[in-house]
Every structure is written in C-alpha cells, then in structure tokens.
Amino acid sequence: MELLIRNGFVYDPINSINGEKMDIAIRDGKFVQKVNEFSARKIDASGMIVMPGGVDIHCHIAGSEVNTGRLLRPEDHFKDFERKTLKTRSGVGRSIPSTFTTGYRYARMGYTTIMNPSMAPLEAKHTHEELNDTPMVDKATYPLLGDWWFVLEYLKDGAIEECARYVAWMMTTTKGYAIKIVNPGGLEAWGSGRNVSCIDDQVPYFGITPREILRGLCKVNKLLNLPHTIHVHTNNLGKPGNYLTALDTMKCVEDLSSEGKPAIHITHCQFCAFKGSNWRSLTSGAEEIAKYVNNHSHVTLDMGQVIFTDTTTMTADGPFQYTLYELTGNKWVNHDVETETSSGIVPFRYRRKSYVNAIQWSIGLELALLIEDPWKIFMTTDHPNGGPFVYYPKIIAWLMSRKAREATVQKINQRARSRSLLPSIDRELSFYEIAIMTRAGQAKALGLVNKGHLSVGADADVAIYNINPETTDPSTKYRTIRKTFRNAAYTIKNGKIAAKNGEILEHVKGATMWLDVQVSDPIKVTEGMKRRFREYWTVEYENYPVTENYLEISHPIAVKADV
C-alpha cells in the first residue's frame, strides 16, 4: 500500500529538517523516495505538523508489577473505560490502563514506539505476553540486571568478560533490549529488609558496592556493543539530598565513555534531583544536575515529570516503595523476585498544595529547561509514577510556553512557588526541540536506527498534528497545544492509518524488538550450569527462557559483541 502525506510542515530533527513544507512518501510500511502520485492514498497535511511517530524511552506498561498495579486498583479504573467497537477491544484506563487501552491511548497521541523499562527476568514471559496484547505500538523491554546474583558475583571477582557473556545470554534469553539497573545493590539488600545508603555502601553478603555494579555493567554494555546505554534508576531515589547520589552515579562512569558517546542514561531524573536534608528543607537540585550534564557528554536523562493527579507508583525499587507506603499509609504491594530483583507499588496523589509535590513538579520542568541540549533530556512521566502518560500534552504545553508554566505556578503551594526556579526561566521550546525530546532524541539514545526519523528506508511511523506553526504561537496558545497533542490528526503505524482525530481506525499489531547478542564464546548449558540454576532459582533451566514463540511479532536486532 502506498501513502503520500502532502504539504505538511515537517519536523525531522535527525535529518535536521525544521518545519520545512514537504511531502512524505510511504510504501509497504517504509518511507520511500516517492510513490505513484495518482494511485497512492493521499493525506492532505497542509497547515499541519508532520513528525516521526513518538518514542517513549521509559513507561511501565506491561509485566508483573504493572499488572499487580491494575489488580490493586479497581477504584482507579471503574469510571474510566473504553467500550468495545467494531474495530477495537474494550478496556479500562486511568493510571494503569489495560493493555489494549494502553495501545490505543498512545496511538491517539501519535506515539508508535514504547519501551517498558522494568522486567524481572524470571517473569519475562509475563511481560512479553502482555506486550503481545498491547496493540498500535512497537515495543521493547529492559531486563533488571543490577542485582542479579550472577552479575554481583562475577563483578565482585572482576570477571567482566564472564559477566558480559552471561548478560548477553540473559538479554537473548529474556528477549530484552537494554540493561536496566535499579537502586544497584539496594534491591538485593531489600531481600533481607535492608538497603544501601550511597554508591560506596557494601551490599550485605556480596561484598560489592553500587559503584562497582554500575561501572561493571557499564563496561559490559560497551563490550557487548548494546544499542542503548545502561539505563539507571539511582540509589536513594525519592530521598532529600539525593541529587548528590545522582551526580556520583553520573561521575562514576565518566571515564568509561569513548568518543563523547553516552555511557549512562539516568531515568526519571526528577526523582533523584532533591536537594536539602529533609522534606521540610527540600529544594531543587536541578541546577546542579543541569550544570553537570551541560558540561559532560556521557549522560542522557529523562524527566520523570510529576503531574498533579492521582496515580499509581510502581518501581523495582522495593525499599523506596516501602518508604512511600510509610509516608502515605496507602495500600502497598511488595514483590521480591528470587536471585534477581524486587518491586513495589503504592497509589499516590500528587497535590498542588503539597510543598514537596509542588517542588517535584517544578524540578522536572527545570531539568528539561536548564539542560541546554534537547538531545540529552527526554520527556517522560515515568508512567505511571509521575502521572499517566495521557498527560504528555500538558507537559509539552509547559515546555513550550512560559505562560502555561506561570498559570500552574500560581496554583501551587506558596512556599514551593517562592523556591521554584521556574519563574526565572524564560526558555520556551520550539516544535523542533519538542520533536527531539519526544521522538528523535529518544530514538537516538536507544540506538533505534529505524525509528524517530523520516529517512527513506526507516519504519513508516508518523504523527500528524493539526496545528499550523506559522500562524500559531505556542507561547500564548498553550491551550491549543494541549488540545492538539492530545489527539493526533493522524497516527500512521507501519504505513497504515491507525488513528485519526482520536478515533482508532485499525487495531494494528506492533512488533517486539529484542537484542540477539552474538558473543564469540556463548554460555554453554552444562550439567553444572543446570545445577547452579536449581540452586539459585526454583525453576528448571529448561523452563526459564522466553522462547521466540512467546513473541507474537518478533523483531530481533542482531548485535555483534566484542567478547
């Protein structure tokens, strides 16, 4: 099938196209030089913005903890539902939508690629089964490896190459995409009810520090030539004063970057940019973090923006979630996974009038605006932790309009208002910069070669928004911005018109991308290995891997490792 998008204002930052009026041609799911003008289906995009489909580097949409979050909160979804139509499946929404609804809602906003950032390897099959039921988007998922006993043991012995071989095995075995590290060392400690307090604290029983884990896995990542960097949720997340931990974490791999390439991604950075010694004296550490990031090229970040709403927090960071339970007294789920990781869930309401929440809200935006290079910081809410992803249009409006920010600043806690840096920041992002922060930059950081741009040969994922950049000033028309980005005029997935003005036209299935990491000397399945397996886990070796038949549409990406 051929498709021709005509006359749109095209924003394609990877190809440095900044609002040029041009046509985009699509054939069989890929961008092509041109198509038959007469027979191709045409979309008149004049007066509209054309961007690559949105990419989300970090959103919890599938797997054990997400699903337990769904189960935990009937009161969260019973008023927000989607009826079955002739084209679509039914479902429920609010902070943790059911799988089909998740896909539809992303598609409506013009998103076509999403990354599920936390998967316990033992429960990887669950994540993939849910991803199969998440339509409209291509997706991938990151296995949690920072507290895996194999990693801790090999790194303690300094056996980096051995560790790399096991990580390669794990990546392929769980059909994962990147190395996810959450509170390195802290999760293993949480298995016995403890935590680590800084990156040089010892992990109980294992004689290793978070610093060694971070550096070790960073080296492994490089040895394996993985497309993305290590994806790190820092120690001490959500604690006052933790911006120092975040800085330490970034610094500790500074020397491991080569040719100015990123070596680490600090995720939902808002949650680890707290300055102050307690909740009362909490202020923003965004300035310090921005300063560091502006002067170094080895770091990328995503925002983890907070939205003032009721949501459900869920991370693999068990001790952090427990603290959150103690703070709120809300219902609490903990789920530790043998040999690998932990996780927790607590419902949470971010309140405008809460000093801490208002500061958090401010930090996220400060980070995005103070970091000069939009290729280094991406827009996320760490869905659903900072708020559900459906609020992205609101964040775009805040980033593009000082007025929008002022309007909200007026409504937040007074003490937070007086301490917020936002009133002193004039920067307003352009559509081009928004395109970087919501797709191009994310795709580049993820090493997704066929996503996030409109070059010939790339996957034909496009979002068209009905707004004229020549006649609309986002600075003043921030409400229009919000409305526009809520429902894309067209969302095109694999060259098919998937959604139009908020209506799902086709239930398109997306592929699951995973890394087929090829090492020269792969792990051999010996009886010894099987025995070790039985000692570490309660399942047999044979039943552990996610075989390829678990992936409805499997899209392996071959990676040639240096080990």
Partner 1 sequence: MISLHPQKEFVFPIIAEGINPDVFQDKNRGEIEELEIWEGNKQKKLGELFKVKETGTEPQQEDIAIVIYGDLSRVRRIGAWMKGGEITINGNVGMHLGEEMEGGKITVHGSVGGWAGSMMKGGIIEIHGNASHYLGAAYRGSSQGMNGGRIIVHGNVGYEAGAYMRKGLMKIYGSVGQFAGFRMHNGTIYIQKDCEGRVGACMKNGKIVVAGFLESVLPTFTIESIRKKVKIGEDDVAEGPFYRFLGDLTENGNGKLYVLKEENPHLSTYERLL
Partner 2 sequence: MPVVKAVPCPVCGSLCDDIELTIENGKIVKVKNGCAMCESKFLSHNSEHRILKPLIKRNGKLIEASFEEAAKKAAEILADANYPILYGWSSTNCEATRVGLELAEEIGGVIDNTAVICHGPSILSVQQVGIPSCTLGQIRHRADLVIYWGSNPWSSHPRHIERYTTFSEGRFQRSTWKRYLLKVKASIVRKKIESALRRVFFKKKPSTPRIGGLPPSMLREGRKLVVVDVRKTKSAEIADYFIQVEPCKDYELLQALRALIRDEEIDVDKVAGVPVENLEEVADLMIKCNFGILFFGVGLTMSEGKMRNIDAALSLVRDLNTRTKFAIMPMRGHFNVTGANTVFTWQTGYPYAVDFSLGYPRYNPGETSIMDILLNKESDATLVVASDPAANFPQKAVEHLVKNPLIVIDPHMNVTAQMADVIFPSAFVGIEESGTAYRMDHVPLPLKKVVNPPRDVLSDEEILRKILSEVRKLKEKKLVEVA
Closest distance to partner 2 from the beta carbon of 390 (Å):
15
Residue type, 61: I
CA 210 to chain centre: 22
Give the separation between CA 491 and CA 506, rounded to whole angstroms.
10
Write out the two tokens for 169: 């095995």
Closest distance to partner 2 from the beta carbon of 83 (Å):
4
> Given the structure tokens 């479902």, which residue do they identify?
91
Which 178-197 residues touch partner 2, going by CB under 8 A? Answer: 191-193
Closest distance to partner 2 from the beta carbon of 515 (Å):
21
C-beta separation of 136 from 112 below 8 A: yes
Which residue of 56, 76, 82, 302 would you call a contact of partner 1, by CB under 8 A? 76
Which residue of 37, 44, 78, 562 would you call a contact of partner 1, by CB under 8 A? 78
Q: With CB under 8 A as the contact rule, which of the stretches 32-40, 119-127, 276-284, 439-447 interacts with partner 2? A: 119-127
Half-sphere exposure of 227 (CA within 13 A, CB side): 25
Nearer to partner 2 (CB atom), residue 284 or residue 341: 341
Decide: is 83 part of the binding site for partner 1 (CB under 8 A).
Answer: no
> Given the structure tokens 């604290």, which residue do they identify?
201
Q: With CB under 8 A as the contact rule, which of the stretches 70-78, 87-95, 388-396, 457-465 interacts with partner 1? A: 70-78
Q: With CB under 8 A as the contact rule, which of the stretches 209-217, 392-400, 499-507, 533-541 interacts with partner 2? A: 533-541
Please measure the distance between the N-terminal and C-terminal CA atoms of the chain and give it in whole angstroms: 43
How big is the chain, counted in residues?
563
Q: What residue ranges in 448-534 does DSSP mark as E strands?
A: 462-465, 490-493, 496-500, 503-504, 512-518
Give the separation between CA 353 and CA 358, rounded to whole angstroms.
7
Measured CA to CA in angstroms, residue 274 lies from 244, 295, 319, 364, 557 at distances of 9, 20, 17, 11, 38
Which 120-139 residues touch partner 2, going by CB under 8 A? Answer: 122-123, 125-126, 129-130, 133
Instruction: For 529, list phi and psi in degrees, rounded to 5.
Output: -65, -40
Q: With CB under 8 A as the contact rule, which of the stretches 66-74, 270-278, 376-384, 515-523 interacts with partner 1? A: 66-74
> Given the structure tokens 């980096």, which residue do they identify?
160
Decide: is 60 part of the binding site for partner 1 (CB under 8 A).
Answer: no
Decide: is 72 part of the binding site for partner 1 (CB under 8 A).
Answer: yes
Decide: is 75 part of the binding site for partner 1 (CB under 8 A).
Answer: yes
Decide: is 89 part of the binding site for partner 1 (CB under 8 A).
Answer: no
C-beta separation of 200 from 208 below 8 A: no
Give the separation between CA 23 and CA 277, rounded to whole angstroms.
55
Decide: is 31 part of the binding site for partner 2 (CB under 8 A).
Answer: no
Which 287-326 residues touch partner 2, going by CB under 8 A? Answer: 322, 325-326
Decide: is 547 part of the binding site for partner 2 (CB under 8 A).
Answer: yes
> Which partner in partner 1, partner 2, none is near 98 (CB below 5 to 8 A by kind)?
partner 2
Quick one: which of 418, 434, 417 has its CA closest to 475? Answer: 434
Q: Assess whether the previous peptide bond of 347 is cis (omega < 30° from 0).
A: no
Nearer to partner 2 (CB atom), residue 63 or residue 441: 63
Q: What is residue 87's DSSP assignment?
A: S
Where on the chain is the footprint of partner 2 (CB under 8 A)? 62, 64, 67-68, 70-74, 77-78, 81-84, 89-92, 96-100, 122-123, 125-126, 129-130, 133, 191-193, 205, 322, 325-326, 330-339, 342, 345-346, 534-543, 547
Where on the chain is the footprint of partner 1 (CB under 8 A)? 72-76, 78
